[in-house]
Amino acid sequence: MRGIGKNIMKALTLALLFSLPVPKLAPPILRQPASPLTQHAKGGRWYFAATGHAIYCYGPVMTVTRDNGDLQKVATFCQDGSAIVPLKD
């Protein structure tokens, strides 16, 4: 009798396990490769552009030579997509 009782308990346990709902796994979220602007999202800074507007840039300020030989400070990798923005002195 004990052998039959164990088999019934095993059958009931298996029936209970198989009757439980199985959660469906969500498909993995594919991430887009980061662009240079999103890679520098931390550490940006506001600058005053030569056009008179404020601009937010992520890269370093550099000094470049203009066509006439003068030196010009520029901000690099700006939020509007510009690689170089001349700054007001």
Domain ranges of the chain: 2-86
Q: Is the pTM of this model over 0.85?
A: no
pLDDT at 27: 75
Distance CA 81, CA 57 (A): 9
pLDDT at 1 over 80: no
pLDDT in tens, 17-46: 788 787 777 777 776 665 555 554 567 899
What dihedral angle (degrees, nearest 10) is formed by the CA atoms of 41, 34, 64, 52? -50
Which whole-number Å values give the CA distances from 21 to 16, 24, 26, 80, in the listed order? 10, 9, 15, 50
pLDDT band at 60 (very low <50, low <70, confident <90, very high): very high
DSSP label of 2: H
Q: Is 29 helix (H, G, I), strand (E, B) or coil?
A: coil
CA terminus-to-terminus distance, the chain: 97
